[in-house]
Amino acid sequence: MTAMAAAAAVPSLPAGRVQRTNLRAQMLWTARFRVLWVALGFVLVTLIAMVRIASLAFAGQAPERTSLEEALLPPRGEITDRNGVPLARAFPAYALWFDPKAMGDEGSPLVRSPAEVARELKAIFPDIDEARMARRLASGRAGYLRRRILPEEANKVFALGEVALEIPRETDRHYPQGTLAAHVLGYVVEDEGGKLGMEQVLDQQLSDPAKRGEPVALSLDVRVQGALEDELRRGMLATNAIGAAGIVLDVDTGEVMAMASLPEFDPNVAGASGARNVFNRVTNGVYELGSTFKPISVAAAMDAGVVRDLSKPWNAAPVAVGRRTIKDLKPKGASLNVPQALVYSSNTVTARVADALGPERLRRAMIDLGMDSRPFIELPARGKPIWPGGRWSRVTNMTVSYGHGLAVTPLHLASAYAAMVNGGIWRPSTLMKLDPADVPRGRRVFKESTSSRMRQMLRMISLYGTGRSADAPGYRVGGKTGSAEKASGGGYAKTSLISSFAAAFPLDAPRYVVVVVIDEPKGTVASSFQRTAAYTAAPVVGRLVPRIGPMLGVQPDENRDVDISDLRYLVDKH
Amino acid sequence: MITGLQARSLGWMAVLAICLALVVVLSFKVHAVKSEVLLAEREILSLKRETLLLETEFETRASQRQLAAWNAVEFGYEAPRADQFLDGERQLASLGQRLGPDAPAPIMLARAEAGNGADSGPMRSPLSGAPVTLASASSEKDAGEVFTEAFGDFLIEASPIRAAQAKTVSPKGISAKGVGE
């Protein structure tokens, strides 16, 4: 066994052969190593290639891609009316940009001569100056040729085949309704943000990426706004007035359903060049609104218990106070009761009622109605009332009672009328659509009983008095006219009036207040050569209410009215 | 000869290769789907933009001011009057009240339905029984215009039917009735 194992352990081979075998094994190893190296090289190259492909596949496109949600986010949020009709939206638009380096070589930026291209452009845009455009193209300066072009114009420019004429897509602010509610919306200036109206107020929210996806709903109703502007324009043109203002206010929530100031401007154009007529007469213009204040003074007196018996006759003779004498425009007799004083718009009786009330209590009522401060509304343009400071004298008290010596905005008046008819609660007005749960509680200014009496008396004014042309059949409109001379240079201009009409409807269950102000109406055929509110402002309300009533859910009914049976005999003697 | 061990490792290699190939195929597929999604997203975007464009154009062309202008020139619609509203069933029922002793007889309007099989050929004269061809049946004119030309506007005014309703007979409808198709 051991001998066999020894024989196997020591091979009996010659030395030369052993060497050859070793050499062969060595060469074999070398060859294998070389193959291995080559294979490793291949693997490495493949790996590098794979990594490169993978990196291209996964990372190459990543920075360019944006999520669908992000791409759909408008560059500036949309503004809609209370029913979701768009009033302002970001709108994809085209611009015409000249890029002389677009061809990428040192030669001419255009394929054809600049004059030829200018002629082609003139055919597309007839308003351009051909020679100037040719010089502009020859100058080789990059820049806008036109800021906004229409899609079909963009197609035509594209068809010219000039690489240097680029059509970049830009976002524009577009107001589909044109001039409608321009003063409420305002406009947008590129790179500066919103100006003037709600565009300025909501600027942060409209440009915040987290919030701008959701449209902002205003309290306006486009249909009501359209009707208001239409009727106001008609009233303004018919009386040859220099301006007009109107507001429709929800009496229970303070939401502004429509607000218009004429003459208007076009926010689609305003962004580039600024605008004229940006003055908002509803929130920024302060006017002495005249007799429309009389119901407020009477309501304050009734609330304080000064006027208890409505049948009590008051002396209607001219009042001499200080150096002034307060007279009635059309005296209706030696004595008038309070309903008659309102129906016939008597300055003397109102002044005497205010005198009995006292300056402090009338002042308190006016402050409670917010007449001493700028109107409560979101808009940045809010006029400061001209408010008699300090302690009110007897004259001040009496003149304020019939709407002189105190200048406020039409919005102030609308809010005060809303408080007078809705049961006595004053609420701040708003341009934002309110959820029923968010309606402010407001503050009580008048008693419920006073408000109820005022509804009767306002209705009587439009049945028997100066507001007859505003009495739209079936809508139970009630309101008061006011015609005040415009203050100018310390005195009053006899020739220029501010006619106003403040109304509420339907007065048996008030829903909306309408205030219409006509600035400097002239006597025309349409207004029977009269300038007073009964012929200028009241007919506007009379035409407007039937148009907006059904839209606002107020159904006309000729069998229904405010119960004035206990007061009718005081005015209507027949 | 291949030993068992070698066969097994070869088998593993093959499985590995197949798996790798499948992974590659799958990743290609994933990428294909991804790019399809991308294309679809792009299409959604462009369609949304187009919708926005068209919607805005529509809103602009049908703006309140434009509608009011058209109404003033073309349609002349007016706000509904109080007597055009009904408060409820009770008021509706009150419309069907019996006439008083001296009340004028209500104006009755003849009307035929152009329903299925209701027509029995061309209109015939009730006196002679001969077929009657209406002048307006073959004309392209609006029936309302023909009526106004023949009888004047005052009849429309006098009719208890509202003017707006009386005028809304479309030329299509009248030709279908008249020709008896």
Which residue out of B38, B58, B64, B83 would a mutagenesis test of the A interface target, given it has the greatest number of A Cβ atoms within 10 Å? B64
| DSSP assignments along A491-536, one per residue | EEEEEEEEEEEEEEE-TTS--EEEEEEEES----TTTTT--SHHHH
A474 contacts on B by Cβ (under 8 Å): 81-83, 85
Residue B54: domain span: 4-74
Nearest to B60 among A72, A176, A230 (CB): A176
For position A252, what pLDDT does the model report? 93
Q: For A258-267, b where at least 16 C-beta lie within 10 A, e where not — what string?
A: bbbbbebbeb
CB-based contact A165:A100 (threshold 8 Å): no
What is the overall mean pLDDT for chain B? 74
Is B73 near chain A, with CB under 8 Å? no
Asked if B52 and A474 come within 8 Å (Cβ–Cβ), the reply is: no
- What string of DSSP letters covers A307-346? ---TT--EE-SPEEETTEEE--SS---SEE-HHHHHHTT-
Which residues lie across from A486 on neighbouring strands?
A: A493
Are A71 and B41 within 8 A, CB to CB? yes
Which of A330, A331, A329, A342 is closest to A461 using CA atoms?
Answer: A342
Tell me if the bond preceding A506 is cis, omega within 30° of 0.
yes
pLDDT at residue B178 tops 50: no
Confirm whether A393 is a catalytic residue: no
CATH top-level class of A225-263+275-571: alpha beta
Q: What one-letter code names the amino acid at B123?
A: M
Is B80 part of the contact surface with chain A (CB cutoff 8 Å)? Answer: yes
Residue of A66, A471, A49, A538 lying closest to A291 (CA atoms):
A538
Taking CA–CA distances from A222, the nearest residue in chain B reads B64
Supply B16's token pair: 């590995």
Chain A residues within 8 Å of chain B (Cβ atoms)? 57, 65, 68, 71-72, 85-86, 89, 91-92, 151, 174, 176-180, 222-223, 225-227, 229-230, 473-475, 546-547, 549-550, 555-559
As a whole number of Å, the CA-based R_g of chain A is 40
Q: Quick one: three-class SS letters along chain B?
A: CCCHHHHHHHHHHHHHHHHHHHHHHHHHHHHHHHHHHHHHHHHHHHHHHHHHHHHHHHHHHCCHHHHHHHHHHHHCCCCCCHHHCCCCHHHHHHCCCCCCCCCCCCCCCCCCCCCCCCCCCCCECCCCCCECCCCCCCCCCCHHHHHHHHHCHHHHHHCCCCHHHHCCCCHHHHHHHHHCC
Give a yes or no: residue B171 inside a domain.
yes
Distance from the Cα of B65 to chain A's closest Cα (Å) equals 7
Shortest distance between the Cα of A18 and any Cα of chain B, in A, equals 28
Number of structural domains, chain B?
A: 2
CA distance B78 to B56: 27
pLDDT, block means (10 residues), chain A with 574 residues: 49 70 91 94 94 76 64 86 91 84 80 89 90 87 84 87 86 87 89 86 89 91 94 92 94 94 87 78 90 93 90 88 84 87 91 92 92 92 88 90 91 94 93 92 92 93 88 91 78 78 92 94 82 87 93 88 86 70
CB contact under 8 A, A546 and B44: no
Catalytic residue among A261, A291, A415, A462, which? A291
Count interface pairs A-B at CB distance under 8 A. Answer: 80
Q: What is the distance in angstroms between the Cα of B67 and the nearest Cα belonging to chain A?
A: 9
Question: What does the pLDDT read at residue B132?
Answer: 67
Tell me how close the Cα of A178 comes to any Cα of chain B, in angstroms. Answer: 7
Tell me the shortest Cα–Cα distance from B38 to chain A, in angstroms: 9
Residue the block writes with tokens 């050929």: B121
Statement: residue B162 has pLDDT above 60: no
Give the pLDDT score at A261: 94
Same domain, B70 and B127: no
Residues of chain A with C-beta less than 8 angstroms from the C-beta of B81? 473-474, 546, 556
Contact B159, B166 (CB under 8 A): yes
Any domain includes B136: yes
pLDDT over threshold 80, residue B168? no
Residue of A71, A72, A474 lying closest to B82 (CB–CB): A474
pLDDT at residue A163, as a whole number: 87
**Closest residue in B to A474 (Cα–Cα):** B82
Residue A187 parent element (H or E) = strand A187-189
- Comparing alpha-carbon positions, the chain A residue that sits nearest to B49 is A92
- Give the pLDDT score at A488: 66
CB-count burial class (<10 Å; 0-12, 13-18, 19+) for B100: exposed
- Asked whether residue B18 is assigned to any structural domain, the reply reads yes
Other residues' Cβ atoms within 10 Å of the Cβ of residue B174: 21
Q: Could you tell me if A103 and A164 are in contact, meaning their C-beta atoms sit under 8 angstroms apart?
A: yes
Tokens of A218: 């205003």
CA B1 to chain centre: 83
Name the β-bridge partners of A92: A171
Q: Which residues contact A488 (CB under 8 A, 6 or more apart)?
A: A496
Sheet holding A491-505, edge to edge: A256-262, A243-250, A512-519, A491-505, A478-488
Cβ separation of B56 and A473 shorter than 8 Å?
no
Closest-CA residue of B relative to A73 is B45
Find the CB nearest B82 among A91, A177, A556: A556
Closest CA to A291 of A533, A483, A521: A483
Domain residue ranges of chain A, discontinuous segments joined by +: 225-263+275-571
Contacts of residue B31, defined as CB under 8 A and 6 or more positions apart, other chains included, come to A57
Taking CB atoms and an 8 Å limit, are B81 and A71 in contact across chains?
Answer: no
- CB pair distance less than 8 Å for A546 and B59: no
Q: Which residues contact A197 (CB under 8 A, 6 or more apart)?
A: A182, A183, A184, A185, A186, A187, A379, A380
Alpha-carbon gap, residue A146 to A148, rounded angstroms: 6
pTM of the model: 0.75
Q: Are residues A417 and A450 in contact, defined by beta-carbon separation less than 8 angstroms? A: no
Query: B68 contacts in A (CB within 8 Å)?
Result: 226, 230
Hey, are the CB atoms on B82 and A475 less than 8 Å from each other? yes
Mutate to test the interface with B, among A91, A221, A223, A228 (most CBs of B within 10 A): A91
Q: Looking at residue A302, what is its pLDDT? A: 93
Asked if A540 contacts A234 with a C-beta cutoff of 8 angstroms, the reply is yes
Q: Measured between CA atoms, how close is B163 to chain A, in angstroms?
A: 19
Q: Cβ of B65 and A230 within 8 Å?
A: yes
CA distance B33 to B53: 30
- Residue among B63, B80, B81 minimizing CB distance to A180: B63
Q: Residue A54: what pLDDT?
A: 82
B162: contact with A, CB 8 A cutoff: no
With contacts defined as CB-CB under 8 Å, which chain A residues touch B48? 72
Nearest Cα to B156, choosing from B120, B88, B109?
B109
Q: Residue B65: closest CA among chain A residues belongs to which residue?
A: A226
Q: Is B52 on the interface with A (CB under 8 A)?
A: yes
Q: How far is A175 from chain B (nearest CA, A)?
A: 8
Q: Which ipTM was obtained for this model?
A: 0.74
- Burial letters for B59-97: b for 16+ Cβ neighbours within 10 Å, e otherwise? bbeebbeebbeeeeeeeeeebbebeeeeeeeeeeeeeee
Q: Which residue shows structure tokens 């309704």?
A: A177
Cβ neighbours of A65 in B, within 8 Å: 38
Which of A265, A545, A557, A561 would best serve as a mutation to test chain B binding (most B beta carbons within 10 A)? A557
Q: Which residues of B touch A508 (CB under 8 A)?
A: none
Residues of A within 8 A of B27 (CB-CB) are: 57
B56 touches chain A (CB under 8 A): yes
Short-list A300, A251, A336, CA closest to A453: A300
Distance of CA A18 to the CA centre of its chain: 105
Please state the φ and ψ torsions of residue A335, each to the nearest 5 degrees.
-140, 145
d(CA A175, CA A256): 20
Crossing angle of the two packed helices A294-303 and A410-421, in degrees rounded to 10: 40
Cross-chain residue pair A180–B81, CB shorter than 8 Å: no
Cis preceding-peptide flag for A263 (omega within 30 of 0): yes
Q: Identify the pLDDT of residue A270.
A: 75
- Name the residue among A203, A204, A124, A196 with its Cα closest to residue A165: A124
Chain A CB contacts of B40 below 8 Å = none
Which tokens is A438 given?
């968010």
Q: What single string gives the DSSP state of each residue in A428-471?
A: --BSBPPPGGG----EE-S-HHHHHHHHHHHHHHHHHSTTGGG-
Is there a contact between A238 and A524 (Cβ–Cβ < 8 Å)? yes
**Structural tokens at position A240:** 């040859």
**Minimal-distance CA residue of chain A relative to B82:** A556
Number of H-type helices and E-type strands within chain A: 21, 19
